[in-house]
Structure 1
């Protein structure tokens, strides 16, 4: 008996003009204790196929043919009320985005306990919730349970979602990009937990991911989707070898973790970019501290010194909660430092309170947020989202602003057919590309990128990283790059700073950090990167 059996599944979305076929003829099977990974580009139908398999399609989507069986029972025609009885007990879902999946008005502990209460009745679940939070790698489960989602980092919120999904030990677990928001050490811990569930409980797992290295390391079977159809399916070794399609070979070739690192040209040997006025557009941080008040004061950033040379990319890496995003927000002028000094593009964020100075700072320093779901106005078309800052900062009139926005969106691989759509009509990766385009639109000098490619599949990720590098050379842009993806960091960075518990463990040129780390903590991070047997790769 299969944990999941999908046969000839087809799903359509009803758009404003016509129906769009998102999934067309997908078949797959997951045995108890087996992990099947579904990979493919953004918009390939990965998430739609997963949601259709467990009866959680949105109102705008409908199954047009095919069948789905869970645990040997055909649930194809079941309504939401019947399906609700299966969710939590027999089917668990770890959704893609923790920001939109957690109720901001309810503590994390109550949300983790919700499924247990629904199926077991009301009783004290405090110790059970603490154990679940501890199991997913949250070291202070009592505090986490009392916290509201906005008080946690993105990775902590993601692990809380995982705790809720596994609470009742479902026979089938659907993990939709469940580790994309996690640093490498937490990713390994969560993947190990999923392996434990497979081994101890016989849980069948459907893993939707754009990370081919994770799929290759953990999956029994990989399904490759493109435009809603299956391009390849087979054991991991077969897919890594290039499978049977050109598309699969392109995906494997695009994955940063599966490629040999290409060292960047040393800074002093590069052709000068932009004008001399851009050379002031670096970042200088001295003695930075950030304290968060509460029942117990938290020192999130402690004594950080950091120099980002003009026209270079400096990455900050570290585990979830290490202070990476806090530093990003302070540099971008969205949070105040508790102590220390910060200079960005020749301006101090703490002194730009006056409207004119704040406006100038906002034009010169832009931030790409971690979550594309929360950072885009749902009522605006994407062409308006990107053109608005061009017009508002007085760079061009509305007509020219739209022309420039269209050109930038095209460079982001977002064609004109998408320009009038709103964020809800785009995939997660497409939303993130809009967010990057909006940040680049007012021609900033410094761009703070907080997990900018974490939502992107490997082929689009490679395109965006190449584009960021191209734009940096054209405009002498300075990037502060926050990421948990060490393969991406190695590809794009000139220098790297490693954080732990808000303090700098070590900093230095990228290749030195990766090939000769000085700190034990850095070595542990590097050891946690998913590993793939190089002899399996297609050459």
Structure 2
């Protein structure tokens, strides 16, 4: 049987006033009818450029398909005009983009955006298109479709917006669906729901899928075959099982080796160097009945953090996991007094942070720093690295002369694995992983004792994530640092954390030693999170058994709101509903 899609010797280049860059070189692969092909590789490998070239969505102003063929249903799309491609896109080929918020039109109702392609490609009347759009909303699991039809993208969650993108892409029953990192920005449970939805849609419609991702766990659960790309070139291709069991290219082996695996035992961390005046049995941080509420107006109050308590010992890493909106980042920011807590108490070495004056907090900030989630947004693009890192030294008067300031910045860059000469460059001249290293160097500039790591890995490729975790662990060992490590990637959290707290709707529902929590989860929500993790093993029985679509009912939420942490076994705390609740 002839493949649905054949890409032969595809080369794509981008040019500016000074030079031409070949982003994709000699790429070849094929996709069979009803098959799912995974394209994997790090950022800059050419995955998305290849996908956009197939859809002919590259900018005509500065890009060009230099050579090669894109044979779809036997026709070479590389030779099609833009007008001819308009009749193909949406009808025969659909695409799901990485960020649904920037892909959906914020000024159009959701239903109208689904109806648009139905009216254009299937010649339906507005009434018929509306009925089909309502059916698509139901198909992708969006309830109350009549109401949702007339809502706008900002009224949907990230997971719901991605479901809408799938509905738009599949509305005309295309033969080929290209999904470009469709779950990267989503929580693990929402990711599992979206992937299962795509599988179900494929089974119903017989659609072929090209799935672009850097997550091998997603590949294991979704793909029949895999194409591995590096620097614009295909370095390996084969069935999913063969790629996982017998990877032949060093780059493929490197990507697979970097994967954090839940079934691997946690490696023992070397004891951190003891800081002067450190008291190992006295918590560095104590959080007691912390509440962080936000007034939304009109009598509405968001209880972002609702009565939580925990402590962090000197030199320890406490991981905090949970879905978006669970209160993880708000907790970290409250500890640093970036938010003024609504209630409760936060103690740093016995001192009440929440009662300190601005002057006292400025002094304390030398001891407490933060590494932000997005390495692209957290660095000032107008400043050189020298000034981004040196700014903290200036504020706390830690560098006398300009020469001393430069020397300290260069020492910090070397400490995080960057060339000291990087001090004279701007943020846009670095990769995502390098920018995150700059963010870490900035946090280290004032020689802190405690660092809040707020989702520092979520924007990075898996191999870069592994490098950053190793760097954080090495810095902790050498400098005696204490971390609050916030993330929604439970696999990575297991390996970096000593203990893990699981948050749901502003409350801690489970808290235990890392190995204990993963081997013996007791709370239903923790079990749900763990079951939703895509396992990087295509033969895994657990992969076949998992049920990620379980959602918490109103009764579950009622129990969480009326539960209190109880120590079930030594060191393992679980939220248990109080008698009569």
**TM-score by structure 2 length?**
0.76
Residues 214-229 of structure 1: pairs in structure 2 closer than 5 A: 214-229=218-233
1:402-455 superposed Cα distances (whole Å, 9 cap, x missing partner): 565556556656668987665556555555454444444444333222322123
2:70 alignment counterpart: 68
Q: Confirm or deny: 8 A CA contact 1:213 1:530 kept in the other structure.
A: yes
Residues 25-424 of structure 1: pairs in structure 2 closer than 5 A: 25-57=26-58, 61-77=63-79, 83=85, 86-97=88-99, 106=106, 110=109, 113-114=112-113, 116-117=115-116, 120=119, 149=154, 162=166, 165-166=169-170, 168-257=172-261, 260-265=264-269, 270-276=271-277, 281-291=284-294, 293=296, 297-343=301-347, 350=354, 354=358, 356-357=359-360, 359-360=362-363, 362-380=365-383, 385-396=388-399, 401=405, 405=409, 408=412
- Given the alignment, which residue of 468, 480, 505 partners 1:464? 468
| Separation (CA, whole Å) in 1 of partners of 2:487 and 2:455 | 5
| Separation (CA, whole Å) in 2 of partners of 1:313 and 1:427 | 27
1:500-528 superposed Cα distances (whole Å, 9 cap, x missing partner): 22222111111110111121222222222
Q: Confirm or deny: 8 A CA contact 1:285 1:341 kept in the other structure.
A: yes
- Given the alignment, which residue of 478, 482, 497 partners 1:478? 482
Q: 1:238 to 1:453 in 2, by over 3 A?
A: same
| Separation (CA, whole Å) in 1 of partners of 2:396 and 2:521 | 43
Q: Secondary structure at the match of 1:252?
A: helix
C-alpha deviation, 1:215, in angstroms: 1.0
C-alpha deviation, 1:212, in angstroms: 1.3
Q: 1:394 to 1:501 in 2, by over 3 A?
A: same
Instruction: Give the RMSD, CA atoms, in angstroms.
Output: 4.0
| Separation (CA, whole Å) in 1 of partners of 2:165 and 2:309 | 34
22-31 or 340-349: bigger deviation: 340-349
| Separation (CA, whole Å) in 2 of partners of 1:161 and 1:278 | 53
| Separation (CA, whole Å) in 2 of partners of 1:28 and 1:316 | 41
| Separation (CA, whole Å) in 2 of partners of 1:38 and 1:208 | 5
Q: 1:227 to 1:91 in 2, by over 3 A?
A: same
2:493 alignment counterpart: 489
Q: Confirm or deny: 8 A CA contact 2:217 2:534 kept in the other structure.
A: yes
2:511 alignment counterpart: 507
C-alpha deviation, 1:225, in angstroms: 1.7
1:306-325 superposed Cα distances (whole Å, 9 cap, x missing partner): 22223211111223332223
1:202-243 superposed Cα distances (whole Å, 9 cap, x missing partner): 222222222112212221111112222222111111111232
C-alpha deviation, 1:337, in angstroms: 3.4
| Separation (CA, whole Å) in 1 of partners of 2:210 and 2:48 | 11
| Separation (CA, whole Å) in 2 of partners of 1:399 and 1:392 | 17
Larger relative CO (CA 8 A, sep 6+): 1 or 2? Answer: 1
Q: Secondary structure at the match of 1:498?
A: strand
Q: Confirm or deny: 8 A CA contact 2:40 2:212 kept in the other structure.
A: yes
| Separation (CA, whole Å) in 2 of partners of 1:270 and 1:398 | 36
C-alpha deviation, 1:20, in angstroms: 3.6
**TM-score by structure 1 length?**
0.82
Larger radius of gyration between Structure 1 and Structure 2: 2
Q: 1:446 to 1:170 in 2, by over 3 A?
A: farther
Q: Confirm or deny: 8 A CA contact 2:258 2:462 kept in the other structure.
A: yes
Q: Which runs of 5+ in 2 are unaligned?
A: 541-581
1:263-296 superposed Cα distances (whole Å, 9 cap, x missing partner): 434xxx8354333369775352424243452565
C-alpha deviation, 1:490, in angstroms: 0.9
1:470-520 superposed Cα distances (whole Å, 9 cap, x missing partner): 111222222222222111111111111112222221111111101111212
Q: 1:87 to 1:510 in 2, by over 3 A?
A: same
Q: 1:83 to 1:362 in 2, by over 3 A?
A: farther
370-379 or 467-476: bigger deviation: 370-379
Q: Secondary structure at the match of 2:78?
A: coil
Q: Confirm or deny: 8 A CA contact 2:8 2:69 kept in the other structure.
A: yes
- Given the alignment, which residue of 531, 544, 547 partners 1:527? 531
Q: Secondary structure at the match of 1:93?
A: strand
Q: 1:36 to 1:270 in 2, by over 3 A?
A: same
1:7 alignment counterpart: 8
Q: Confirm or deny: 8 A CA contact 1:252 1:258 kept in the other structure.
A: no
| Separation (CA, whole Å) in 1 of partners of 2:353 and 2:63 | 45
1:290-349 superposed Cα distances (whole Å, 9 cap, x missing partner): 345256544333222222223211111223332223323333434343333334577766
Q: Confirm or deny: 8 A CA contact 1:448 1:481 kept in the other structure.
A: yes
1:165-190 superposed Cα distances (whole Å, 9 cap, x missing partner): 55555443332322223333222111
| Separation (CA, whole Å) in 2 of partners of 1:133 and 1:382 | 47
Q: Secondary structure at the match of 1:482?
A: strand
